[in-house]
Structure 1
């Protein structure tokens, strides 16, 4: 039985931590979320930050997923001190549809998928921003950013419950509301 649990954890890292709402009650815990379902990978050539028509965006399932995630947080009475988001349209839309508070664009959480030399500087900027703001934010960002900050992959719409730990973020749990 232990082998099966270990195998599931290795094949799908979220399996062992799925829907760990209690983790948000731990001291220093906050939410780090991958944007809701936006089919595809990366962005099309000709991507322009201020033009959603040039980006990969949420589909109908992604929009429903974002609303469901927000509803799940509200149903549990979970409140956040800030809603921070990458400037990419799929992240801003996810954050807005969750309806958990005013969304603040935060360039430190912008994707570096096509500009991987920004991984280090963007990760340091994100950690510095989190340290400066304090409190319990919810952050909507991208897979590459989450992986750089935590060493873990995530699924679309997955929320990692994390806290600051030395030079990075410690994963305390995971919440996934399927689309």
Structure 2
């Protein structure tokens, strides 16, 4: 019995840093003028089919119903807990665009090549990373800026692997970006 309680307490304590980090992330977003790298919501599988066509959603890995619900929940939480989202840039991939549109509405969403998956274009990775860093450095709005992209892009930009639907709050630092907060959407 004692072992059971020890395991339960350990599991509860293990969740506290993540919960604390999520609350700290929301505190940053309430200040406004933050940059968020948001990984697309749940899209089952890995990679895209061999017949991948960026202009044809039927040839891509797309959001599941759970992913669509997750995207709507992300938008509702942003609306309730953060300063307004001023602009949303998204990868052209259907799963990223759908995440952005379900969460923040069509009028704010603008596709950007630099947010497309780096896996598909490794030769252009350095140029894409530079474009995202320049975008972050140049942002001067009062609301939050959301960049909907892919886990591999977040990892290339800041060195952390984010989960589907996770928000990584970043700031410019020296020649790149640094993580200043994270929000995990369950």
The one of 128, 134, 137 aligned to 1:131? 137
Q: Does residue 1:35 correspond to 2:43, yes or no?
A: no
Q: Are 1:88 and 1:110, in contact at CA under 8 Å, matched by a contact in 2?
A: yes
* Higher helix proportion (structure 1 or 2): 2
Q: Are 1:28 and 1:164, in contact at CA under 8 Å, matched by a contact in 2?
A: no
CA distance in 1, matches of 2:174, 2:18: 23
With structure 2 as the length reference, what TM-score do the two structures score? 0.82
138-147 or 128-137, larger mean C-alpha shift: 128-137
The one of 108, 116, 122 aligned to 1:116? 122
Q: Are 2:86 and 2:108, in contact at CA under 8 Å, matched by a contact in 1?
A: no
- Segments of structure 2 that go 5 or more residues without pairing to the other structure are 1-9
CA distance in 2, matches of 1:17, 1:146: 18
Q: Larger Rg: 1 or 2? A: 2
Q: What is the match of residue 151 of structure 2?
A: 143
Correspondence list, 1:1-179, <5 A:
17-19=21-23, 20-25=25-30, 29-99=34-104, 102-135=108-141, 136-178=144-186
Aligned partner of residue 130 in structure 2, secondary structure: helix
45-54 or 28-37, larger mean C-alpha shift: 28-37
- Segments of structure 1 that go 5 or more residues without pairing to the other structure are none
Aligned partner of residue 177 in structure 1, secondary structure: coil
Alignment CA distance shift 1:16-1:75 (3 Å): closer
Q: Residues 9-62 of structure 1, C-alpha deviation per residue, up to 9 Å, x if partnerless?
A: 9xxx96773342112256853211100000111111010011000000000000
Q: Residues 118-168 of structure 1, C-alpha deviation per residue, up to 9 Å, x if partnerless?
A: 221210121123333433311100011111111111000000111111211
CA distance in 2, matches of 1:99, 1:27: 16
Q: Are 1:17 and 1:174, in contact at CA under 8 Å, matched by a contact in 2?
A: yes
With structure 1 as the length reference, what TM-score do the two structures score? 0.85
Report runs of 4+ in structure 1 exceeding 6 Å deviation: none
CA distance in 2, matches of 1:71, 1:31: 16
RMSD value, Cα: 2.3
